[in-house]
DNA sequence: TTGATAGTTTGAATACTATCAAACTATCAA
DNA sequence: TTGATAGTTTGATAGTATTCAAACTATCAA
């Protein structure tokens, strides 16, 4: 539920969704206007992003408004750093 | 060839390979010892990491020695930052 | 209520990925 | 050469992802 972040980021559509949400929270419909894809397919992507903790979703009347969950951003950064070990704790042989 | 980084990072085996290479460059065989997987399967993962630019590979005698390509690390960080827009250039409406 | 709008969920088709076993290539050592 | 070791590539299979169309749920407005 939290380690699937890279999986969630591995799809171009989902990355573009994040880039759009970067500007401001948006309802599902507005997001789906810019993708050549059915609303059902987009909803599927929203779910994956939500399960990865990358976005949150809040109902406002008829609208489901999606927004970035920036706190997970830091965790994702930390995971990347862990993969590459950028803190240089390399012991010289 | 360079945007497939997230795809490459989306697999747990490949992330573990990166974590191991973090310590030091290693030949394919040594890496494949710690995975419950054939050498062929590992080789497949090496290819994906190589195509994403995350690792490099150099022959030393009979050995193919893999190592981290840390320069791509920075690019990957930049891509993450791009996705989340952490530079706060948010214009207050 | 009913109808319209906004979105999700389901079921099926298609495409992609991970894996294995087996065949293959490359280097070294005799 | 030949044999042994190290690794890659290939072909097949099983599992996973993406997508669509269609059915469904929820809210609003009359």
In this prediction, residue A41 carries a pLDDT of 98
In this prediction, residue B86 carries a pLDDT of 56
Q: Domains of chain B (ranges plus CATH)?
A: 5-83 (1.10.10.10)
pLDDT greater at residue A48 or residue B72: A48
Residue of B nearest to A7 (CA): B10
Residues in chain A with pLDDT values less than 50? 1, 88-93
In this prediction, residue A84 carries a pLDDT of 83
> Shortest Cα distance from A54 to chain B (angstroms)?
10
Contact A83 B7 (CB under 8 A): no
Report phi then psi at B63, rounded to 5: -100, 140
Contact B22 A77 (CB under 8 A): no
Q: Give me the sheet containing B63-68, strands edge to edge.
A: B26-27, B63-68, B55-60
In this prediction, residue B85 carries a pLDDT of 77
> Shortest Cα distance from B83 to chain A (angstroms)?
5
Interval B28-64: pLDDT, tens: 999 999 999 999 999 999 999 999 999 999 999 999 9
Report the Cα B6 to chain-centroid distance in Å: 9
To which residue do tokens 């747990």 refer? B12
Contact B73 A84 (CB under 8 A): yes
Q: Which long-range contacts (CB under 8 A, 24 or more apart) does A18-25 make?
A: A18/A49, A18/A54, A18/A55, A18/A68, A18/B83, A18/B84, A19/B82, A19/B83, A19/B85, A21/A55, A21/A66, A21/A67, A21/A68, A22/A68, A22/B83, A22/B84, A22/B85, A23/B85, A25/A65, A25/A66, A25/A67, A25/A68
The residue-averaged pLDDT of B71-83 equals: 89
CA atoms within 13 A on the CB side of A84: 19
CA–C1' distance A59–D10 (Å)? Answer: 51
**Averaged pLDDT score across all residues of chain B:** 89
Confidence of residue B2 (pLDDT cuts 50, 70, 90): low
C-alpha span between A57 and A60 (Å, rounded): 10
Interval B4-21: pLDDT, tens: 899 999 999 999 999 999
């Amino acid at each position: 539920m939290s380690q699937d972040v890279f999986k969630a980021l591995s799809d171009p559509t989902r990355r573009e969704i994040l880039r759009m949400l970067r500007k401001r929270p948006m309802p599902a419909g507005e997001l789906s206007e810019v993708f050549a894809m059915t609303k059902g397919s987009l909803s599927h992507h929203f779910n994956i992003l939500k399960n990865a903790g990358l976005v949150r979703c809040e109902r406002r009347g008829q609208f489901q408004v999606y927004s970035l969950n920036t706190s997970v951003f830091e965790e994702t950064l930390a995971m990347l750093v862990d993969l590459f070990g950028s803190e240089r704790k390399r012991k010289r042989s």
